[in-house]
Amino acid sequence: MSHKNNQIALCRLAERCQQGLRRCLSGEPQCRQTQPAKGRKIRPTKRSRSTQRHGAAIVEFAFAAPILFLFILASVEFGRLTMIRHTADNAAYEAARYAMVPGATSSEAKEKATQLLATIGARKVEVDVDPAVLQPETKTITVTVRVPAAGNSWVVPKYFSSYAIEAKSHLATERYNPE
C-alpha cells in the first residue's frame, strides 16, 4: 500500500469511530454494555494499587540468593582445587624431568616443584623424590607432590581437612653408564 492509501484507510477508520461514539452517547440500545456470560467476570484492564505485588521481587531474591551464592562459592572452590590438582601434576612431571638429566640432585628437583606450586599460592607442599640421592646408576626417578586441601582452600577449608591432592611422575633417567 502506498502512503496515500494508508492515509485514506486511517481517515475511514476515524470516521467510523466517531460515528460509533455519537451513537453510544445518544443512548442507542445497541451501545449499552452487555452483561458477561453466566459464571464469567469482566476483569479490569488496570489493577488498583492495593492488589499490586509490592516487594515480591525482594522476597523472591531473598529466597533465591543464598542458593545462587552457594553455587558460586562451590564453583570457585572446586575450580581452585582443580587448578591445584593440575599444577601438582605439572610440578611432579617438571621436577622429574629436571632430575632425570645427569648432574641433577633431588633437592634441585624439589625446589623446581615448589617453585611451580608457589605460582598459584599453594601452601604446605610436600615434595618427595625417590631415590633421595641420585646416583649415576639410577635407572628411574619418581617424584611425588602432596598438597593438603585444608591449607589451600579459600572458602571452606574445614570441610577438606582430611583431603590431600597427590600427584606422581615416574620417568627413566638419562644417566650415561659406560659399562
Q: What is the pLDDT of residues 104-146, one digit of tens each?
A: 888 899 999 999 999 988 888 999 998 888 887 888 899 999 9
User: Residue 87: its pLDDT value, please?
Assistant: 94
Give the Cα separation of 82 and 78 in Å (integer). 6
> Any idea what DSSP says for residue 47?
-
**pLDDT band, very low/low/confident/very high, at 85 (cuts 50, 70, 90):** very high
Burial of 10 (0-12, 13-18, 19+ CB in 10 A): exposed
Cα 92 to Cα 87: distance, rounded to the nearest angstrom:
9
Q: Out of 29-43, 45-59, 163-177, which region has the weakest mean confidence (pLDDT)? A: 29-43
Instruction: State the chain's mean pLDDT as an integer.
Output: 81
Residue 1 clears pLDDT 60, i.e. is over it: no
The pLDDT of residue 103 is: 81
pTM beyond cutoff 0.95:
no
Q: Is the pLDDT of residue 19 over 70?
A: yes
Q: Residue 57 corresponds to which amino acid?
A: A
| CB-CB neighbours of 109 under 10 Å | 24
Name the DSSP class of 101. Answer: S
Q: How far is CA 65 from CA 70, 154, 170, in A?
A: 8, 20, 47
